Structure 1
Amino acid sequence: MADKAEGAFLTISELADDLGLPQHILRYWESRFPQLRPLQRAGKRRYYRPEDVALARKIHSLLNQEGYTIKGVQKLLGNKANGATATAAPAPAPAETGSFTDIGALRRIRAQLADALASA
């Protein structure tokens, strides 16, 4: 968001506008992804911390740009899906621009994803 300082908390309407989604989608994601837990103040007003914003952006990207299902994203994020423990490890944080990428780590992640898809 251009009008707020980086690291500032966002309201649900600000985050929804930023992602181009209706607010009820963010509330639904909160019910499906336990990691997405914004602060709630008086009147149940939600405030998304920078880590919540990053997670919401990641979920949005996986669902709407990469074609994952809710269940697939839950597995990628390491949730318990339908009572079974997910086998996929959480996705690593994106590397900083210009930093060295460990090809071995990428291959391990690829293998974990392939295992998760095979067991689905």
Structure 2
Amino acid sequence: MDKAPEAFLTIGEMADRLGVKTHILRYWEEQFPMLKPLKRAGGRRLYRPSDVALLDQIQDLLSKQGYTIRGARAYLAKGGSAENVAIAAPSPITAPAPAPVGDLFARPAASTLVPELRAIRDRLAKALAAA
């Protein structure tokens, strides 16, 4: 049975909705001062619809748009205006090249790696000297 949209959500329900663990939500409360759920007796958290909307936005900024915690906090503190927040711009995330399946833990032999590294070092030294 689903709750009405205006109903308060517990931390477990909110965690399930966002697909994160409850400790992540507690951490976000520390990192985002604008996030202040109601706390009942015994410290039970209840998220109001405004908290739910803010958590949805935080989740989107962090997981889909690639913001850091610091960048997302700055973005939200400035009212969500990207042109006002230079620090909040997400940095491109590059994934490392996938390892071959059969050689998942294989390392190149030192005898082939050292000459390659020396060649790279020499090219960098020449480039710096030319600059």
Flag whether TM exceeds 0.5 (same fold). Answer: yes
2:83 paired residue number: 111
For the pair shown, the structure with the greater C-alpha radius of gyration is: 2
Cα gap change, 1:117/1:60 in structure 2, threshold over 3 Å: closer, same or farther?
Answer: closer
TM-score by length of 1: 0.69
2:36 paired residue number: 37
1:68 paired residue number: 67
- Structure 1: gaps (5+ residues): 79-88, 92-108
Q: Which runs of 4+ in 1 moved over 6 A?
A: none
Q: Give, in whole Å, the separation in 2 of the partners of 1:3 and 1:117.
A: 35
Cα gap change, 1:72/1:117 in structure 2, threshold over 3 Å: closer, same or farther?
Answer: closer
- % identical equivalent positions: 53
1:52 paired residue number: 51
- Three-state SS of the structure 2 residue aligned to 1:8 is coil
- Three-state SS of the structure 1 residue aligned to 2:45 is strand
Shift of 1:110: 4.6
Give CA deviations for 1:32-61 in whole Å, capped at 9, x if unaligned.
001111000011000000000000010000
Cα gap change, 1:18/1:67 in structure 2, threshold over 3 Å: closer, same or farther?
Answer: same
Cα gap change, 1:30/1:5 in structure 2, threshold over 3 Å: closer, same or farther?
Answer: same
- Three-state SS of the structure 2 residue aligned to 1:47 is strand
2:79 paired residue number: 90
- Structure 2: gaps (5+ residues): 90-131
Cα gap change, 1:70/1:35 in structure 2, threshold over 3 Å: closer, same or farther?
Answer: same
What RMSD, in angstroms, separates the aligned Cα atoms of the two structures?
1.7
Q: Give, in whole Å, the separation in 2 of the partners of 1:44 and 1:6.
A: 23
TM-score by length of 2: 0.63
Larger helix share, 1 or 2: 2
